[in-house]
Chains A and B, each alone.
Chain A
Amino acid sequence: DAGVIQSPRHEVTEMGQEVTLRCKPISGHDYLFWYRQTMMRGLELLIYFNNNVPIDDSGMPEDRFSAKMPNASFSTLKIQPSEPRDSAVYFCASSATLSVGELFFGEGSRLTVL
């Protein structure tokens, strides 16, 4: 199994630019989560999907952030326009409702906004 795949692994951009992060969950998993991790705030849940439908986006910081899941094998997190305070590691994770349902994390996308 390939695991959760995220891209890009690293992104450096300038304030005001659009950033798109991508995620391919593990095949067969019906939940997908987007988290953001910083030293100050730890691991924060931004949004999660069940069967491609957004369930809870209350963690999305503001309207500059949006997430989509057009099909079971792909999701995007978009920031437009980006700001320096968005600098963080963004993790995508997926899980299946069968058995324990633990989250499997991708390797993360490290975003730096200058």
Chain B
Amino acid sequence: GQNIDQPTEMTATEGAIVQINCTYQTSGFNGLFWYQQHAGEAPTFLSYNVLDGLEEKGRFSSFLSRSKGYSYLLLKELQMKDSASYLCAVRSNDYKLSFGAGTTVTVRA
């Protein structure tokens, strides 16, 4: 199975940068995903990494190191609308996707 750890909460100022770390242990790795979930809404897909390195998509970037079982999501130029929960999820070889508990990011003016 998977064991996924990420911080519970983070707070940052509008315009700043925040990095959300995720560590995982899995038997059979087949990709790491980041999802964003606003309060009362469904999770929405942000990024995907299956090879080591950095994937950049606008203000959001995600990094993966498979040997270390480590990923981070980088949010740049924070906006108030970025206040949400960010979920790290690991897919195993049987296509099962397991989620971490989520990191609640609060952006302050």
Contact partner of A102 among B45, B87, B102, CB < 8 A? Answer: B45
Please, what's the 1-or-0 string for A71-114, where 1 marks a CB less than 8 Å from any CB in chain B? 00000000000000000000100000100111111111000000
Determine whether B48 belongs to the interface, using a CB cutoff of 8 Å to chain A. yes
Asked if B42 contacts A108 (CB within 8 A), the reply is yes
Taking a contact as CB atoms under 8 Å apart, the answer to whether B99 and A43 are in contact is yes
Are B102 and A56 in contact (CB-based, < 8 A)? no
A42 interface neighbour in B42, B45, B96, B99, Cβ under 8 Å: B99
Q: Which residue of A lies closest to B102 (CB)?
A: A42
Q: Is B11 an interface residue (CB 8 A)?
A: no
A97 CB → nearest B CB, Å: 7
Contacting pair A107 B96 (CB below 8 A): no
Is the CB–CB distance between B33 and A102 below 8 Å? yes
Interface size class of B (residues with CB under 8 A): 20 to 34
Query: Which B residues are in CB contact (< 8 Å) with A103?
Result: 33, 35, 43, 45, 97
Q: In the complex where A31-B95, A97-B95 touch, is A42 in contact with B44 (Cβ < 8 A)? A: no
Contacting residues, chain B, for A107 (C-beta < 8 A): 41-42
| Closest partner residue, chain B, to A110 (CB atom) | B40
Assembly CA distance A86 to B16 (angstroms): 40
Whether B95 pairs with A101 at a CB distance below 8 angstroms is yes
- If A102-B33, A105-B42 touch, does A56 touch B96 (CB 8 Å cutoff)? yes
Interface residues as binary, B89-109 with A (CB distance below 8 Å gives 1, 0 otherwise): 001001111111110000000
Report the minimum CB–CB distance from A111 to chain B (whole Å).
15
- Chain A interfacial positions (CB closer than 8 Å to B): 31, 33, 35, 42-43, 45, 48, 50, 55-56, 91, 97, 100-108
Can you identify 20 A-B contacts, CB atoms within 8 angstroms?
A42-B100, A42-B101, A42-B102, A43-B87, A43-B99, A45-B96, A45-B99, A48-B95, A50-B95, A56-B94, A56-B96, A100-B31, A102-B45, A102-B48, A103-B43, A103-B97, A105-B44, A106-B42, A107-B42, A108-B42
